[in-house]
Structure 1
Amino acid sequence: MATYSCLLSVTLSFLVLFSSCSAQISQVTSRGRQQRIQTQCNIQKLNTLEPQQRIEAEAGHTDLWDQNSEDLQCANVAVLRHTIQNRGLLVPPYTSYPQMIYVLQGEGLHGASIPGCPETFQYSQQQSRSRSQSQSQEGKEGRGDEHQKVRQIREGDVIALPAGITHWIYNNGQSNLVVVSLCDIGNAANQLGQSLSDFFLAGSPQQEFQGQQGRQQGQQGHEQSDSNVYSGFNQDLLAEALNIDRELVSKLQRSDRQRGCIVRVQDEFQVLAPHRREQQEREEREQEQGRNGLEETICTFSLKHNINNPSLADVFNPRAGRSSSINAYVLPNLEKLQLSINKVVLYKNAIYAPHWNPEAHSIMYFTRGSGRIQIVSQRGDSVFDDNVKEGQVIVVPQAFAVVQKAGNRGLEWISFKTHPLAMINQLAGRGSFLSSTPVDVLANAFNLSREDARKLKNGRREITLFSPLRSSSDY
């Protein structure tokens, strides 16, 4: 009996120890997944940011915002914008940090290669008559092409890319395809320093995308390569690894800086992609599966969602505008990226409620119109109070308060946020601390009469989006 009691005691002790260790491991894993590289944001003044560098390419150009700006360094992010001409192809890069891409205008195709996932798009499954001749030719030369999923993209689409995924974009539309990209350099996935560093698998646009820090190293005499990743390998070893001849390896390693990172496709561009209606039906099924709690794997993650549909707005005021968000509830892949995005459309002279982000930095890119923005620091100092316009970027650090007012042409923007479930705390209107706090608390906190406290509490009864007052002036 004593032996049994001793055994039972040891077993219980082991279970307690195991449970404790498991809980600690779980907590550490959870913390590691959510960790960001922290930076100091001792900002006295914020600024409107515009591109500081343009990189020309054969079929378009890329605009880069200055990574050395105090504002972007505070949020630990980089911003760039690609303009891809008709029949232009953004050659495949891969990165060590997550990216969120927003399609500003145009339409095209987007492909992503996720390591370890199968090539599920095959020519043998394509029924289009337009490809029958090419399929016949391929049948003579060998098996048809196979590749991972290709997506149709259009204005308003948001593409969420985890670190390490290679992707490409092709413009098959008639007008320019313009996309703006947020690179989350401060994400825990990135261990390569705090500068932009896209690594290209094709072409030779490396040096321009190594960030200001990389360019400074080049000026100090360090050797800088301007070729693609394959160029650094020994030709014989690469030929054996790829099972190709040296002549083909030479073509693979060829440096042609004139083409840049956006090249023009000369012949017919042939990839497998579903028609838009088929893709929309498939995306609806995927979203429904996510809502029903079906588990997604990295190979079945949805990488894209459109944020422009007015019917999907989270907040709508017919006199003020609408606000829509894509977070980890809508696009589960964002839990891995630790990012989310908000799109706001303000009508003429409307106001977006004064608010602050308790968990995230907010990087605003203005897509249309103009207006006035005021930002206040945690100390109550005004760090920005000026007009803004289309194409500019403003960083709102975590816990800084901001209010936006549209001008007489309205104002629209997207806000990239460094948290997968970013929320706001309003300082006015329904849903704010004013409306949820007793009158007597407000009266005593602000040294007001009960009547004034009641006016303060009930001054605005709208949620988030405020309609303009008659006395409101234009900006």
Structure 2
Amino acid sequence: MAKLILSLSFILLFSFTLALREGSWQQGECHLSRINAREPTFRLEAEGGVTEFWDHTNDEFQCAGVSIHRHRINPRGLVLPAYHNAPVLVYVVRGRGTLGYLISGCPETFESSQESQQEYYEERGEEGRSHIFRDKHQKVREIRQGYVFAIPAGAAHWTYNNGEEELVTVAVQDVANYANQLDRTPRSFYLAGNPLRGQQQQEGRPREQRGLPEFGNVFRGFKVRPLSEAFRVDEETARLLRGENDTRGHIIRAEQGIQFVSPTLREEYGRREGQYGRGEGPYYTRDNGIEETICTAEIKENLDKPSRADIYNPRAGRFSTLNSLTLPILRFIRLSAARGVLYRDAIMAPHWFLNAHSAIYFTRGECRMQIVNHLGQAVFDGQVREGQVIVVPQNFAAVKQAGEQGCEWIEFNTNDNAMMNTLSGRTSAFRAMPVDVIANAYQISREQAERLKYSRRETLLFSGSSSRYERGRVASA
């Protein structure tokens, strides 16, 4: 009997722990009576740009288990290599650049030949021996406006702005993810520099009360001699790894630019033509589903292409989704994304997500938005505009209506295959109900129930009272 009680206690304890790790509802963190559209609360300035953080201790972010930050990287700015304690999903708001995605143990697949590296010809040694430097590194990826890319927990990465304008990215770190076995504090482990430099500029409340992520250079905690021996370098070089006297911050400026091995545009075009066949496109790949490994997985996708939209209404806008079926690495990090565009006065049908929280970042314009909880209370009813973030918890119903200038957003979902239900429209819950059920439920006539059921023929995006086909908007997108 004692063994049975002990076994049941163990099962209950294990179930409670699992539930606690998989979701936040056990902790009562999603009992929200009010949700706000949030602005960044802290700026960390550096030589090559600035990073803005949203306070992850706010109730909405605690409910969704996410932390959000935005990089503003100047031309020739380099975000120093770092890895995080939780997976990250990033959207490129503006500009273009290069992403380095580093997986230890994977081969260096980009390498320079002797013919392409004559500029590295150097004279070395007292006898005048010549040496030609050939670089090798893991694959680098081009990123530009509209791209979403995924970074697994613990995968180091760097970002470089090789364009002529500011590179702006917004990132969601899923600290409630199964891959994070620490607590829900977002942590960044830098492999260079002194990212703490900008924190001394912050005034006011103690650091633990400001909702800041925690970060620092991991080499700084090691002694100089072990580093010197591990890398087989002199102690002065080992000290530089620690970044103690580095005042540039976490985003540095590469004055002379950065060179790396990368295909030319012509080579890239030829590779794609050969891979997909003449006259075909990227949606006609001949992959059999087993080619990707952790070393070769595709990690990015362009969500801004109008032709990629899952739902399109020429009088209302478009909606594009990105999940583990279209980008398989998302199955590994258990996140997904969607891109929404609403034209003037257009409406996105009232809807809810069955299996995910949503963190929505607005990239252009403004819209009126309402969010309703399980008690029928409007926890948010107001305007949201460019640069703001709002969280919609799982199963909370939401509706959007664009303003005079339209509205665009990117939403990050805490499930690799987020599923949506709508309350109105051609595929909604109303369309699935018999007319008599609607009539009796709302105490209306059968004719009224029919009109209610079939009032909207569109699927998700509805034209507003003054919406019209914006030919210029579609052509320029």
Normalised by the length of structure 1, the TM-score is 0.85
Secondary structure of residue in 2 paired with 1:91: strand
Give the superposition deviation at 1:276: 4.3
Taking the aligned partners of 2:207 and 2:51, their CA distance within structure 1 comes to 22
| CA–CA separation in structure 2 for the residues paired with 1:293 and 1:46 | 41
Equivalent residue in structure 1 for 2:352, among 353, 356, 359: 356
d(CA) in 1 for partners of 2:330 and 2:19? 12
1:453 — aligned with what?
A: 449
1:198 to 182, 188, 194: 188
Deviation at 1:291, TM superposition (A): 5.7
CA distance in 1, matches of 2:198, 2:220: 17
Q: Given residue 331 of structure 1, which amino acid in structure 2 is its aligned partner?
A: L
CA separation in 1, counterparts of 2:34 and 2:269?
Answer: 44
Does the alignment pair 1:436 with 2:426? Answer: no
Q: Displacement, 1:36? A: 2.9
Matched letter for residue 59 of structure 1:
G
Relative to structure 1, the CA distance from residue 444 to residue 207 in structure 2 (aligned partners, 3 Å threshold; closer, same or farther) is: farther
Which shows bigger deviation, 272-281 or 178-187? Answer: 272-281
What residue in structure 1 maps to residue 137 of structure 2? 147
Query: Cα deviation per residue 1:116-167 (whole Å; 9 max; x = unaligned)?
Result: 1101000128x76xx5312677994465111100011110011101111000
**1:255 aligned onto 2:252:** no
Q: Unaligned 5+ residue runs, structure 1?
A: 1-27, 220-224
Distance in structure 2 (CA, Å) of the matches to 1:290 and 1:208: 49
The amino acid of 2:151's aligned partner reads L
Identity value in percent: 45
Stretch moving more, 357-366 or 241-250: 241-250
Corresponding residue pairs, total = 432
Is contact 1:152–1:279 with CA below 8 Å preserved after alignment? no
Residue aligning to 1:133? 119
Contact 1:82 1:178 (8 Å CA) reproduced: yes
Which of 396, 400, 404 in structure 2 is aligned with 1:400?
396
Name which of 167, 182, 185 aligns with 2:172: 182
Contact 2:348 2:401 in 1 (8 A): yes
Structure 1 residue 426 and structure 2 residue 422: aligned?
Answer: yes
Deviations 1:79-115 (A, max 9, x none): 0000000110000111111000100000111101012
1:56 aligns with 2:45: yes
Return the match for 2:22 from 6, 16, 36. 36
Question: Which stretch shifts more, 177-186 or 288-297?
Answer: 288-297
* Structure holding more strand per residue: 2
Q: Structure 2: where are the runs of 5+ without partners?
A: 1-13, 277-281, 469-477
Q: Structure 1 stretch 414-423 or stretch 238-247: which is displaced more?
A: 238-247
State which of 71, 95, 99 in structure 2 corresponds to 1:110.
99
Residues 51-74 of structure 1 show CA distances to partners (whole Å, capped at 9, x for unaligned) of 000011001100000111111111
Label 1:278 to 1:324 Cα distance change in 2 as closer, same or farther (>3 A).
farther
Quick check: 135-144 or 79-88, which moved more? Answer: 135-144
CA contact (8 A) 1:109 1:171 kept: yes
3-state SS in 2 of match to 1:83: strand
Note if 1:325 corresponds to 2:321.
yes
Question: How many Å separate the matches in 2 of 1:273 and 1:54?
Answer: 33
C-alpha contact 2:315 2:467 (8 A) present in aligned 1? no
Letter in 2 for 1:159: F
Question: 1:444: how far off?
Answer: 1.7
The answer to whether the Cα contact below 8 Å between 2:176 and 2:184 also exists between their aligned partners in 1 is yes
CA contact (8 A) 2:346 2:467 kept: no
Do residues 463 (structure 1) and 459 (structure 2) align?
A: yes
Change over 3 Å in CA distance of 1:282–1:468 after alignment to 2: farther
Q: Does the alignment pair 1:72 with 2:66?
A: no
Deviation string for 1:410-442 (max 9, x for gaps)?
000011000001121000001001112211121
Counterpart residue identity of residue 319, structure 2? S
CA RMSD of aligned residues (A): 2.9
Q: 1:312 aligns with which of 303, 308, 311?
A: 308
Alignment partners' CA distance in 2, 1:158 and 1:307: 7
Q: CA deviation at 1:287?
A: 6.7
Distance 1:276 1:73, change over 3 A: farther
Alignment of 1:300 onto 2:286:
no
Question: Residue 241 of structure 1 is aligned with which of 225, 230, 250?
Answer: 230
TM superposition score normalised by structure 2:
0.84
1:157-176 to 2 correspondence within 5 Å? 157-176=147-166
Q: Would you say the 8 A contact 1:377–1:400 is kept in 2? A: yes
Could you say if the C-alpha distance between residues 190 and 352 of structure 1 is closer, same or farther in structure 2, counting changes exceeding 3 Å?
A: same
| Counterpart contact for 1:92–1:200, Cα < 8 Å | yes
| Residue 336 of structure 1 pairs with residue 332 of structure 2 | yes
- In structure 2, what is the equivalent of residue 82 of structure 1? 71
